[in-house]
Amino acid sequence: MRYERKYKLDLLHPSALEQAVRLHPAGFRLIFTPRQVNNLYFDTPDFGAFHDNAAGVSQRVKHRLRWYGQPFESVNDPILETKIKDNFLGRKESFPLPPGRYQAGQLDELLEQARRHLGYGPELQPVLFNAYCRSYWATPDGRFRITIDSGLQFGAYRKQERGLLPYRLPGVIMELKYEQEDEEKSDFILQHIPFRQTKSSKYVTGVGVCYGISA
């Protein structure tokens, strides 16, 4: 498993955060072209995953459908992902679904395949659309990685062709990621990050915005 340490910065422009990452003495550099990340999150009718996350349950699981690029409504080569968290440690299991292009408002076939793969029935429901721009950074040895997410957009799941992301939120989310065996080497990295670590979940934020449910 790997450590995933988050920093939510509501008043900082993405370019200012990227400059701070460039100036880190560990030598973080951009490793991929920034791209739009798109998600469809699943949950139970009583929002069990949401409440577990909001309550800070140490061991929890979250399922989502992920695809990349614009426009958001064009679901290209989706991947089913399961995020498994244990406090600050996490891991991700990925399951490619049939490749191709789908419409975000017409996913019934993909949703049924996702349920079957995960061993669920109708109790696992699509709940939340989400998109953001992500840039990817790493130290020269690749042991420590940073992602910077900006331009957060959200929308409650619904079947339609357009207007799926009506809510846009300011702020930037930075996440530092490294493998569990590198924890002893993390002090130098953490000491030179000039921000306070926070708790931040895009899913919890989106459900709060779209459904009015308090964390």
Pick from 80, 134, 82: nearest CA to 107 = 80
User: What is the structure's pLDDT at 88?
Assistant: 82
Q: What is the mean pLDDT of the chain?
A: 94
How many CB atoms lie under 10 A from the CB of residue 118? 14
User: What is the structure's pLDDT at 106?
Assistant: 86
**For residues 149 and 4, is the Cβ–Cβ distance under 8 A?**
no
Neighbouring C-alpha atoms within 13 Å toward the C-beta of 156: 8
User: What is the structure's pLDDT at 87?
Assistant: 83
Q: What pTM was estimated for this model as a whole?
A: 0.95
Place 44 in a pLDDT band, splitting at 50, 70 and 90: very high
User: Taking 90 as the threshold, does the pLDDT of residue 168 lie above it?
Assistant: yes
**For residues 107 and 77, is the Cβ–Cβ distance under 8 A?**
no
For the segment 31-49, the average pLDDT, to the nearest whole number, is 96
> What domains can you pick out in the chain, each with its CATH number?
2-210 (3.20.100.30)
User: Taking 80 as the threshold, does the pLDDT of residue 115 lie above it?
Assistant: yes
User: Taking 90 as the threshold, does the pLDDT of residue 215 lie above it?
Assistant: no
pLDDT tens column, 173-197: 999 999 999 999 999 999 999 999 9
Place 55 in a pLDDT band, splitting at 50, 70 and 90: confident
Place 96 in a pLDDT band, splitting at 50, 70 and 90: confident
User: What is the structure's pLDDT at 198?
Assistant: 92
For the segment 49-60, the average pLDDT, to the nearest whole number, is 90
User: What is the structure's pLDDT at 56?
Assistant: 83
Name beta bridge partners: 149: 134, 173
User: What is the structure's pLDDT at 166?
Assistant: 97
User: What is the structure's pLDDT at 3?
Assistant: 95
